[in-house]
């Protein structure tokens, strides 16, 4: 880890201005920055600590009739513990509680959480030479390496690194928007599903953020599906482990059980927070039976591409989604 | 030498569960682990490890690193001081590789350099700037890799013989019922919470080493030998060890190298190796494969037992856990055929890890026994009862005590085994498939004897001193408790000094033998103290008068215990001297493990809500410490079954999961009910206190019980550890 | 003892043992002195930065490299070695301390970022009179540790777990204590200790 300088601006303007310096990184909780800097995966010579920016909305959880707004500096633990959110959208605290540990949830902020880096072993260990994400053009060691954890959706021949995390899959599912501040002009807002880029030929470019842009918040439109929502995470350990497969589902059911609206996000299986619109289409207008749930799961994984050690993720991913859908349908709301 | 035995009270079969002697130090953060020691003006070291499995260093350039402000020195094979080769102080566990003597790379994660700097941050930064070019060669890193070479262990190790009792091949060919199955487990690494820190400093010609060690006397001698100095010039200080499990039993190459650097620079040197580096700095449990063949009559009597094992080894070392004697001693098979092979690969040498061979060898045997029970449509517990041997099936040795059946009965009762529906796949609770499984546990007794000093003061305070190690087993507590009880003192009156090579030497904290080897010496010392007090320990209130009569303020006795007249007990065998001549005896602890697994019918994740084990290991000195060892061991067994295994990259022949995230060990949520039952057992022959080992048996058998329970839940027989959910699809 | 101890391949596990050394090497340990040049954040990346914090109720001023973790600052500069370095990657919990009344991983926190923070380490948990915190006492009572290396982190995590309201059920405790690995696997005892300490902390 090279020497660094450090600054702690007080305004968003000052923060994004600071990113004009070369080799500069934002840091908030540090939980997906400091670890990687120690092992020379992330290299920076200047850190801009954004945790003490004065804008109170950055740390606010705001609920209106039409939307939930989450400031980018809200701690994971605080959002998980927010009683209002739990009542409106149980999916959100569920996904947070199942992620990381309470210590990390106390440190990590939502803005950093959605930008967390892959857990691909070949990315996180510089002694492996080939990693297109870390070292563009060097190849992908995971393609024929040990790839039990790796992605089966959204992959390319350049990268199969999994997108980790749980909460971002929820944001992808529930039509969240991301608010972004930059040096030029007014803040912009984009759909969360547009924030992350598929690896394609440039897996090193993970998001559409410009290098001097800062996420300031998330906007989740309120819909009747948020109440009937759950997050199911399957992993080797019972806790403190990344997903092998996960499903974020939110359903609006008619009194006769017909699916009026469905929102489906998938984790542990894809290179980005994954929105399974094909599954949603398979559900819409149908009664949520076991057969329909399976049809949705088939649709969600129709495009899956596996490698030597991760074939199991297709049946696992499907069953995870089926279980989540049936579980959500059975919820009392 | 024990003419005054009657002067001492008999200890209870299960000793009172006094709280930990070192409890307060450990809950307040005052317990000083090696990396906590403050030394003046230390140099910080950072290790460079190889990143290829085989080849050589073509070029190593340190100039960019050396010019950093604060960098003091960078050691590579081009400028390393000459040291004698490390000889493992615990012979047989071979971290005998000597790094930095040539450019050759013989395993991934080999020490190829040491960076010294004024602070940790600079040392780490400089390490990343050392430019290394390798010439790579193809490597074999698994049992099945091209280029891996199988050798028969008995041809390498003159002291080892494979077993051949009767004609097992013929018996197998003729047996009405046979099982022939192969079992496999991936390599595992100890991963104690404390990695591998070392701080060394010289005081003139004397070397002080702060390093966690399960065997301070061995480390002392090993380092002295490498440096070419007298062992009396080396002092190892290791009062607390942040977990060992075998990883801190053997000399590793780092210590002497750091000592040489400290001597060169005339300053203390401090190393705190990283978690990732710890995966290759010491030993590990190597990958192994086992073929078990069982022959039986239709009513379940074994007619033949055959066990062939293949254990991973390095090219340069020679280690095998070779536990076929253990499995052959389990059941009354009239014919036995065993063979142990090592498979030479481009890896570092494996070594002792909690239940080194007992865990994998018994995983294989006890899964095979379950397969046989299902084949015979017989209760697995009954199958074991039916084949309980009266004497060792190998050589007819007498078991001094063997409570296997009793352990099965007690654990089965507590577990509720009787109520199980034996049909595989028939037990369901909602979306969860439920399975019950059981397996036997065993661990052989070792005893190398030991020595200790006990001092009794006129005030009624006492002190026990011995070079034993506290690795979490409760050594301070158990050893102090023995002295307190024998001297009839409140336990608070006894001070215990451990973990220092200046203290009287004793057996290592390995092989579950330290307590059994050391307490007889403590007993002997107490006996002599009492003998000086007139063969009867006075009441505390009368102690002053008794000392006054002797005209002294303190009585100090150092005693040495020589197990089996100095012939020791090794791997479950010893020789008793009797009036009729020498009698070979079989000495081991036994236990039974019962497990409930739950598997989600859809997503296959696997949870273990209940573990019940019963163990008989002779006299228990402290009930609380024993339960902790057993239960901790059982969770290790669970971990070996479900989580642990090195992930090998097949193309690059390297380990990819050298961290706590991907080398998973259980978290709190993975462990629900873990119950250990202490089965009382009296054994007057194993040693004067009848103490067997308790540190390792808890892990043994759990993996088989888990795999057997998975079969019961699903009808799917899984013979490859760890059993992760992908194997259930 | 059978066989040549230098032979690496004994039939069974043999351990070379020998007699203890007799010379008493003087044990020279002097406390490291923390130098505290007062420096502001500098453009020179190798310069040290002065940070002020409250640690266990006492105001401290440390000068740190911006790369230094709070864990290393506490251990090497403040002389508080109770927090342990188990992985330095946020994967084990041994470095858990409280910052502004929340449990956090000190290995993932830049020391410079803790400027102005109120920090509690294991050394600050017991009363000034040495009376153990109920959680510490319960850990002893329930034998909630073996080697003790993860214990300071477990205890600080456990205290926070109770204060957060995450210790209502055993299942909750297990889940919310899962960020603290214990290789000795004293987990059931840790759960029992928290259950014992909870009413004492609240009462």
Task: Check if the beta carbon of residue B366 is closer than 8 Å to that of residue B439.
Answer: yes
CA distance C189 to chain A (A): 18
Q: Do B651 and A149 touch (CB under 8 A)?
A: no
pLDDT reported for residue B44: 98
pLDDT by residue (tens digit) across A286-332? 999 999 999 999 999 999 999 999 999 999 999 999 999 999 999 99
Mean of all residue pLDDT scores within chain C: 84
pLDDT by residue (tens digit) across B462-512? 999 999 999 999 999 999 999 999 999 999 999 999 999 999 999 999 999
Taken as a whole, chain C contains a residue count of 203
How many whole angstroms separate alpha carbon C97 and alpha carbon C85? 12
For residue B3, name the pLDDT band (cuts at 50, 70, 90): very low
pLDDT by residue (tens digit) across C54-105? 999 999 999 999 999 999 999 999 999 999 999 999 999 999 999 999 999 9
Task: State whether the Cα torsion B356-B361-B364-B370 is positive or negative.
Answer: negative
β-strand partners of B462: B456, B494
| C-contacting residues in B 461-490 (Cβ below 8 Å) | 467, 470-474
For residue A242, name the pLDDT band (cuts at 50, 70, 90): very high
For residue C56, the chain B residues in CB contact (below 8 A) are none
Percent of chain B clearing pLDDT 90 (strictly above): 95
pLDDT by residue (tens digit) across B372-410? 999 999 999 999 999 999 999 999 999 999 999 999 999
Q: Do B602 and A319 touch (CB under 8 A)?
A: yes
Taken as a whole, chain A contains a residue count of 333
Q: Average pLDDT in the C146-168 region?
A: 98
Q: Long-range contacts: C48-55, Cβ < 8 Å, 24+?
A: C49/A6, C49/C112, C51/C111, C51/C112, C51/C114, C51/C115, C52/C115, C52/C116, C53/C114, C53/C115, C53/C116, C53/C117, C53/C118, C53/C119, C54/C117, C54/C118, C54/C119, C55/C80, C55/C119, C55/C120, C55/C121, C55/C124
CATH 3.30.365.10 domain position(s) in chain B: 5-28+447-568, 357-445+572-729
For residue B666, the chain A residues in CB contact (below 8 A) are 237
DSSP string, B215-265: -HHHHHHHHHHHHTS-GGGEEEE-S--S--TTTTSS--THHHHHHHHHHHH
What is the DSSP secondary structure assignment for residue B728, as one 8-state letter?
A: G
Tally B–C CB contacts below 8 A.
327
3-class SS letters over B644-686: CCCCEECCCCEECCCCCCCCCCCCHHHCCEEEEEECCCCCCCC
pLDDT by residue (tens digit) across B148-180? 999 999 999 999 999 999 999 999 999 999 999
DSSP string, chain C: --S-TT-S--SS------PPP---------PPPPP-------SSTTS-EEEEEEETTEEEEEEE-TT-BHHHIIIIIS----S--S-SSSSS-TTEEEETTEEEEGGGSBGGGGTT-EEE-GGGTS-TT-PPPHHHHHHHHTT--SS-SSHHHHHHHHHHHHHHT--SSHHHHHHHTTTS--TT--HHHHHHHHHHHHHHHH-
**Nearest residue to A6 via CA among C73, C64, B119, C60:** C64
What is the DSSP secondary structure assignment for residue B569, as one 8-state letter?
A: B
Tally A–C CB contacts below 8 A.
99
CA distance A39 to chain B (A): 9
The number of CA neighbours under 13 Å toward the Cβ of C42 is 17
In a domain, A161, yes or no: no
For residue A19, name the pLDDT band (cuts at 50, 70, 90): confident
In a domain, A30, yes or no: yes
Q: Do B570 and C32 touch (CB under 8 A)?
A: no
Q: Do A8 and C67 touch (CB under 8 A)?
A: no
Q: Would strands B43-49 and B111-117 be described as parallel, antiparallel, or unpaired? A: antiparallel
Residue with tokens 């199969």: A160
Q: Residue C199: which residues within 8 A CB-CB, separation 6 or more?
A: none
How many whole angstroms separate alpha carbon B634 and alpha carbon B640? 10
Tally A–B CB contacts below 8 A.
96
**Nearest residue to B575 via CA among C93, A185, C2:** C2
pLDDT reported for residue B198: 98
pLDDT reported for residue C120: 98
pLDDT reported for residue B88: 65
For residue B245, the chain C residues in CB contact (below 8 A) are 183
DSSP E strands in B62-110: the ranges are 71-75, 104-105
CA distance A58 to chain C (A): 18
| Interface test mutation site (partner B, options C11, C46, C62, C161, max chain B beta carbons within 10 A) | C11
CA distance A278 to chain B (A): 21
How many whole angstroms separate alpha carbon B515 and alpha carbon B696? 13
Instruction: Tell me which residue in C89, C103, C113 faces A35 most closely, judged by beta carbons.
Output: C89
Q: For residue C5, give the chain B residue with the closest CA.
A: B91
Interface residues on C facing A, Cβ-Cβ cutoff 8 A: 41-46, 49, 65-67, 69, 88-90, 93, 96, 102-105, 107-110, 112-113, 115, 157, 160-161, 164, 166, 174-176, 178-180
Catalytic: B371? no
For residue A11, name the pLDDT band (cuts at 50, 70, 90): very high
How many whole angstroms separate alpha carbon A28 and alpha carbon A50? 6
Q: Average pLDDT in the B413-438 region?
A: 96
Q: Do B240 and C27 touch (CB under 8 A)?
A: no
pLDDT reported for residue C103: 98
CA distance B177 to chain C (A): 33
Q: Is B656 an 8 Å CB contact of chain A?
A: yes
Q: Do B275 and C89 touch (CB under 8 A)?
A: yes
What topology is assigned to B5-28+447-568 in CATH?
A: Aldehyde Oxidoreductase; domain 4 (3.30.365)
| B-contacting residues in C 46-105 (Cβ below 8 Å) | 46, 65, 67-68, 72, 75-76, 79-89, 91-92, 94
CA distance C18 to chain A (A): 42
How many whole angstroms separate alpha carbon A76 and alpha carbon A72? 10
How many whole angstroms separate alpha carbon B163 and alpha carbon B324? 8
Domain residue limits at A17: 5-52
Architecture of the domain spanning B357-445+572-729: 2-Layer Sandwich (3.30)
Return the structure tokens found at B465.
């001193």
In this predicted structure, the answer to whether residue C16 has a pLDDT above a threshold of 90 is no
For residue C85, the chain A residues in CB contact (below 8 A) are none
pLDDT reported for residue B97: 86
pLDDT reported for residue C45: 86
In this predicted structure, the answer to whether residue C28 has a pLDDT above a threshold of 70 is no
Q: What is the end-to-end Cα distance of chain C in Å, rounded?
A: 59
pLDDT reported for residue B482: 98
Q: Would strands B71-75 and B336-345 be described as parallel, antiparallel, or unpaired? A: unpaired
Q: Which of helix, strand or coil describes residue A308?
A: coil
What topology is assigned to C49-124 in CATH?
A: Ubiquitin-like (UB roll) (3.10.20)
Q: Do C108 and A104 touch (CB under 8 A)?
A: yes
pLDDT reported for residue B16: 97
Q: Is A66 an 8 Å CB contact of chain C?
A: no
Q: What are phi and psi of B611, to 5 degrees?
A: -130, 125
pLDDT by residue (tens digit) across B13-33? 999 999 999 999 999 999 999
pLDDT by residue (tens digit) across B561-619? 999 999 999 999 999 998 999 999 999 999 999 999 999 999 999 999 999 999 999 99
Q: Is C19 an 8 Å CB contact of chain B?
A: yes
CB atoms within 10 A of CB A179: 20
Q: Which of helix, strand or coil describes residue A318?
A: helix
Instruction: Tell me which residue in A144, A237, A322 faces B666 most closely, judged by beta carbons.
Output: A237
pLDDT reported for residue A122: 98
Q: Which of helix, strand or coil describes residue B548?
A: helix
Alpha carbon B497 to chain centroid, angstroms: 23
Q: Is B642 an 8 Å CB contact of chain A?
A: yes
pLDDT reported for residue B90: 55
In this predicted structure, the answer to whether residue B67 has a pLDDT above a threshold of 90 is yes
pLDDT by residue (tens digit) across A70-83? 999 999 999 999 99
Architecture of the domain spanning C134-202: Orthogonal Bundle (1.10)
Alpha carbon B146 to chain centroid, angstroms: 31
| Per-domain residue ranges of chain C | 49-124, 134-202
Mean of all residue pLDDT scores within chain B: 96
- The total number of structural domains that make up chain A: 2
pLDDT reported for residue B540: 94
Considering the candidates B211, B358, B470, B696, report the single residue annotated as catalytic. Answer: B696
Instruction: Tell me which residue in A3, A30, A239 faces C175 most closely, judged by beta carbons.
Output: A239
Percent of chain C clearing pLDDT 90 (strictly above): 75
| C-contacting residues in B 148-177 (Cβ below 8 Å) | 153, 156-161
pLDDT by residue (tens digit) across B342-365? 999 999 999 999 999 999 999 999
For residue C24, name the pLDDT band (cuts at 50, 70, 90): very low
Q: Do C136 and B28 touch (CB under 8 A)?
A: yes
**Nearest residue to A171 via CA among A98, A273, A324, A56:** A273
Task: State whether the Cα torsion A179-A181-A182-A187 is positive or negative.
Answer: positive
Q: Do C67 and B317 touch (CB under 8 A)?
A: no
pLDDT by residue (tens digit) across B221-271? 999 999 999 999 999 999 999 999 999 998 999 999 999 999 999 999 999
pLDDT reported for residue C42: 62
Which subunits sit against C, judged by 3+ Cβ pairs under 8 A?
A, B
Task: Check if the beta carbon of residue B440 is closer than 8 Å to that of residue B591.
Answer: yes
Task: Check if the beta carbon of residue B599 is closer than 8 Å to that of residue B432.
Answer: yes
What is the DSSP secondary structure assignment for residue A71, as one 8-state letter?
A: E
Q: Is C149 an 8 Å CB contact of chain B?
A: yes
What is the DSSP secondary structure assignment for residue A116, as one 8-state letter?
A: P
For residue C90, the chain A residues in CB contact (below 8 A) are 31, 34-35, 104
Helix (H) or strand (E) holding A323: helix A313-329
């Amino acid at each position: 880890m090279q020497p660094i300088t450090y600054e702690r601006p007080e305004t968003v303007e000052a923060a994004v201005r600071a990113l004009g310096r070369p080799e500069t990184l934002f840091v908030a909780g540090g939980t997906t920055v400091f670890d990687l800097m120690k092992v020379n995966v992330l290299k920076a010579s200047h850190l801009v600590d954004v945790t003490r920016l004065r804008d109170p909305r950055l740390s606010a959880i705001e609920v209106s009739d039409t939307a939930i707004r989450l400031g980018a500096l809200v701690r994971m633990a605080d959002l998980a513990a927010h009683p209002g959110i739990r009542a409106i959208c149980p999916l959100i605290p569920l996904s947070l509680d199942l992620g990381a540990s309470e210590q990390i949830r106390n440190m990590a902020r939502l803005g950093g959480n959605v930008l967390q880096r892959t857990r691909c072993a070949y990315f996180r260990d510089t002694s492996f030479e080939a990693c297109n994400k870390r070292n563009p053009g060097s190849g992908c060691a995971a393609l024929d390496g040990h790839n039990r954890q790796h992605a089966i959706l959204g992959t390319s021949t350049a990268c199969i690194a999994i997108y980790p995390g749980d909460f971002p899959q929820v944001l992808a599912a529930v039509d969240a928007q991301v608010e972004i501040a930059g040096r030029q002009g007014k803040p912009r807002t984009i759909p969360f599903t547009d924030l992350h880029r598929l690896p394609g030929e440039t897996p090193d470019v993970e998001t559409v953020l410009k290098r001097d842009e800062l996420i300031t918040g998330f906007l989740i439109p309120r819909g009747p599906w948020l109440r009937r929502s759950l997050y199911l995470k399957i992993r080797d350990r019972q806790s403190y482990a990344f997903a092998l497969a996960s499903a974020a589902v939110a359903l609006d059911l008619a009194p006769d059980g017909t699916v009026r609206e469905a929102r489906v996000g998938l984790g542990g299986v894809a290179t980005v927070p994954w929105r399974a619109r094909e599954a949603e289409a398979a559900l819409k207008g149908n009664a949520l039976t076991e057969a329909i749930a399976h049809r949705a799961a088939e649709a969600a994984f129709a495009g899956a591409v596996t490698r030597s050690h991760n074939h199991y993720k297709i049946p696992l991913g499907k069953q995870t989604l089926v279980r989540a859908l049936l579980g959500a349908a059975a919820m009392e709301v | 030498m024990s003419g005054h035995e009657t002067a001492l009270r008999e200890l209870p079969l299960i000793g009172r569960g006094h709280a930990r002697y070192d409890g307060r130090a450990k809950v307040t953060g005052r317990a000083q682990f090696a990396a906590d020691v403050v030394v003046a003006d230390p140099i910080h070291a950072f290790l460079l490890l190889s990143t290829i499995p085989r080849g050589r260093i073509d070029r190593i350039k340190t100039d960019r690193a050396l010019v950093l402000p604060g960098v003091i020195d960078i050691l590579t094979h081009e400028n390393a001081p000459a040291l004698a080769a490390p000889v493992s102080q615990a012979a047989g566990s071979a971290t005998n590789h000597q790094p930095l003597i040539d450019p050759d790379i013989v395993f991934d994660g080999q020490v190829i350099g040491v960076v010294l700097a004024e602070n940790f941050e600079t040392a780490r930064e400089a390490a990343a700037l050392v430019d290394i070019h390798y010439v790579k060669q193809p490597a074999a890193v698994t049992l099945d890799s091209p280029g891996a070479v199988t050798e028969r262990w008995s041809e390498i190790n003159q002291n080892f013989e494979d077993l051949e009792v009767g004609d097992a091949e013929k018996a197998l060919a003729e047996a009405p019922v046979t099982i022939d199955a192969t079992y496999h487990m991936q390599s595992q690494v100890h991963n104690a919470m404390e990695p591998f820190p070392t701080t060394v400093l010289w005081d003139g010609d004397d070397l002080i080493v702060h390093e966690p060690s399960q065997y301070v006397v061995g480390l002392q001698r090993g380092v002295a030998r490498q440096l070419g100095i007298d062992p009396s010039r080396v002092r190892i200080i290791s009062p607390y060890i942040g977990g060992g499990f075998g990883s801190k039993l053997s000399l590793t190459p780092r210590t002497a190298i750091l000592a040489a650097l400290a001597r060169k620079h005339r300053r203390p040197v401090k190393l705190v190796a990283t978690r990732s580096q710890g995966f290759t700095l010491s030993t590990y449990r190597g990958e192994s494969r086992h073929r078990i063949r069982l022959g039986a009559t239709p009513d379940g009597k074994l007619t033949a037992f055959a066990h062939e094992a293949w254990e991973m080894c390095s090219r340069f070392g020679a280690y095998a856990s070779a536990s076929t004697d253990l499995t052959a001693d389990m059941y009354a098979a009239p014919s036995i055929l065993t063979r142990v092979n090592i498979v030479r690969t481009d890896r570092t040498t494996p070594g002792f890890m909690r239940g080194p061979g007992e865990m994998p060898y018994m995983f294989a045997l006890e899964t095979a026994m379950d397969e046989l029970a299902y084949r015979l449509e017989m209760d697995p517990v009954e199958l074991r009862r039916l084949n309980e041997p009266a004497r060792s099936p190998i050589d007819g040795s007498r078991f001094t005590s063997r409570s296997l059946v009793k352990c099965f009965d007690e654990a089965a009762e507590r577990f509720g085994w009787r109520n199980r529906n034996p049909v595989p796949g028939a037990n369901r609770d909602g979306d969860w498939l439920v399975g019950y499984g059981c397996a036997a546990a065993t661990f052989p007794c070792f005893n190398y004897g030991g020595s200790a000093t006990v001092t009794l003061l006129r005030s009624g305070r006492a002190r026990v001193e011995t070079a034993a190690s506290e690795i979490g087993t409760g050594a301070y507590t158990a050893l102090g408790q023995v002295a307190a009880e024998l001297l009839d003192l409140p336990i608070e009156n006894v001070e215990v000094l451990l973990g220092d090579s200046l203290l009287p030497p004793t057996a290592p904290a390995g092989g579950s033998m330290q307590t059994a080897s050391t307490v007889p010496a403590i007993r002997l010392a107490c006996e002599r103290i009492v003998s000086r007090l007139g063969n009867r320990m006075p009441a505390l209130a009368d102690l002053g008068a008794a000392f006054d009569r002797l005209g002294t303020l303190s009585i100090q006795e150092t005693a040495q215990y020589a197990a089996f007249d100095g012939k020791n007990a090794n791997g479950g065998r010893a020789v008793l001297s009797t009036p009729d001549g020498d009698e070979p005896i079989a000495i081991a602890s036994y236990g039974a493990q019962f497990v409930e697994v739950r598997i989600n019918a859809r997503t296959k994740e696997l949870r273990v809500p209940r573990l019940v084990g019963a163990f008989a290991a002779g006299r228990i000195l402290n009930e609380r410490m024993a339960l902790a060892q057993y239960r901790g061991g059982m969770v290790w067994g669970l971990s070996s079954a479900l989580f642990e295994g090195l992930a090998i990259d097949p193309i690059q022949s390297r380990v990819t999961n050298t961290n706590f995230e991907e080398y998973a060990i259980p978290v709190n949520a993975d462990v629900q009910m873990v119950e250990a039952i202490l089965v009382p057992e009296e054994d007057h022959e194993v040693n004067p206190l009848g103490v067997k080992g308790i540190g390792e048996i808890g892990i043994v058998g759990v993996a088989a019980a888990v795999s057997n329970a998975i079969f019961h839940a699903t009808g799917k027989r899984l013979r490859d550890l760890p059993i992760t959910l992908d194997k259930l699809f | 003892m059978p066989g040549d101890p230098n032979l690496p391949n004994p039939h069974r596990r043999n351990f070379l043992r020998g007699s203890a050394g007799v010379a008493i090497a003087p044990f020279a340990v002097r406390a490291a002195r923390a130098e505290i040049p007062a420096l502001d954040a500098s453009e020179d990346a190798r310069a040290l930065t002065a940070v002020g914090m409250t640690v266990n109720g006492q105001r401290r001023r440390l000068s740190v490299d911006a790369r230094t973790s709070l864990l290393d600052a506490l251990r090497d500069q403040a002389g508080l070695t109770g927090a342990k370095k188990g992985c330095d990657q946020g994967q084990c919990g041994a470095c858990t301390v409280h910052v502004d009344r929340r449990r956090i991983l000190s290995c993932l926190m830049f020391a410079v970022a803790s400027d102005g923070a109120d920090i509690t380490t294991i050394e600050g948990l017991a009363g000034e009179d040495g009376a153990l915190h109920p959680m510490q006492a319960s850990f002893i009572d329930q034998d909630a540790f073996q080697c003790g290396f993860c214990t300071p982190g477990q205890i600080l995590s456990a205290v926070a777990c109770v204060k957060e309201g995450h210790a209502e059920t055993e299942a909750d405790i297990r889940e919310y204590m899962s960020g603290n690995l214990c290789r000795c696997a004293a987990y059931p005892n840790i759960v029992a200790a928290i259950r014992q300490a909870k009413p004492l902390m609240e009462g």
